[in-house]
Structure 1
């Protein structure tokens, strides 16, 4: 079994690969630990942003979904991609890779498919993520800057507290050469952060920052996300 501890790792153990280990005796700035924030379930959400407005009524969402669903009422990643590109047309184009990660986030039975009751909260979550991105992006570049407070504020708006050192890795992985993050890459990064934090919490007890799990469970969690 493997024991994962989010609190016991110091900055020196989680340094970006772009920076070498600092010299002994160098004082490192304290950083917060990754965690899920407690968010109020009100209709306004954070800073007045809508939570459940997708741009279409539930009837339209159901119609778009069921038009592509198989006989058992589910869709695979390719069909889900078509649904999302229809719903969010003109805002963001969903790649198949991004869609696969979004499907894995909602696929509770690991079947590779989602039904409408798994799809509907996904659509609401994506609407929320897109709204937060648009609020926090740089008006000049139209992108979210990874070198300002925008990325951290956007993730915090969504209920994810991500340490600065890990936000730096998000920029390395999902940003361009200037450190700007596109909407589609932000959705992918948010999906991965959401999945891994929620799966960690599922393995931990209460609000402890330590989880013990079998290697096969860890591999399953990291491979299918």
Structure 2
């Protein structure tokens, strides 16, 4: 039997195997997030007769952005997002880099084509619009960034209920030396969080709060992200 890694949502005892990950949430602050359903794997041409006018308008926008192959690459996503942020001078950002956009494409790429199809892009785009509004709402000092004290409220408004340990990890990874998070890092972080919760939920089929994966599944989950 191949090596297996167990991911447990509980406290690890010293005697347990080392190949385990324990977020160790306090009882009063469980890790919570209820992600929406993953984008369906449908081709752009599969247009439903009962689509709303809003969806049809988004299809027209997508066809203008996606290029001839009707899929959005990391480079195309980078260009799209950087055009958007230039219209919002109140959002402090260094711009979306190609590595950030490659990571965003990877965690959203449900059919592993290396690009985003219509439904994948629509899911990402709708989340970015929602998170942009939250970012502005919680930038209470109008600095253009979200400080470490503002971050928990912003994440909770986005639906992520994390513990203090995870918040501190996120600040160290996505914020500057003073603990301030700019817009592109905020979006990049939430895209990854959303994807990781969705991946966990898809593997936690019996809803126990713990999953077991083999080494191949683990590498696929962590390396293409």
Please, what TM-score do these two structures have when normalized by structure 2?
0.74
Regions of 4+ moved over 4 Å: 57-61
> Equivalent residue of 1:126, what SS?
helix
The Cα shift of 1:206 comes to 3.8
Answer yes or no: is the 8 Å Cα contact 1:14–1:165 preserved in 2: no
The Cα shift of 1:85 comes to 2.9
User: Structure 1: where are the runs of 5+ without partners?
Assistant: 16-28, 40-56
Kindly report which structure 2 residues correspond to 1:139-218, keeping only aligned pairs within 5 A, or say none. 139-146=141-148, 148=149, 150-218=150-218
User: Structure 2: where are the runs of 5+ without partners?
Assistant: 14-20, 37-53
Taking the aligned partners of 1:71 and 1:38, their CA distance within structure 2 comes to 31
Taking the aligned partners of 1:34 and 1:107, their CA distance within structure 2 comes to 25
Query: C-alpha root-mean-square deviation of aligned residues, in Å?
Result: 2.6
Answer yes or no: is the 8 Å Cα contact 1:132–1:157 preserved in 2: yes
The Cα shift of 1:132 comes to 0.6
Answer yes or no: is the 8 Å Cα contact 2:134–2:154 preserved in 1: yes
Please, what TM-score do these two structures have when normalized by structure 1?
0.74
The Cα shift of 1:128 comes to 0.6
Aligned length: 191
Answer yes or no: is the 8 Å Cα contact 1:98–1:188 preserved in 2: yes
> Equivalent residue of 2:114, what SS?
coil
Answer yes or no: is the 8 Å Cα contact 2:32–2:160 preserved in 1: yes
> Equivalent residue of 1:112, what SS?
coil
The Cα shift of 1:86 comes to 3.3
Taking the aligned partners of 2:142 and 2:72, their CA distance within structure 1 comes to 38
1:72 paired to 2:69: yes
Kindly report which structure 2 residues correspond to 1:12-161, keeping only aligned pairs within 5 A, or say none. 32-37=29-34, 61-91=58-88, 93-146=95-148, 148=149, 150-161=150-161
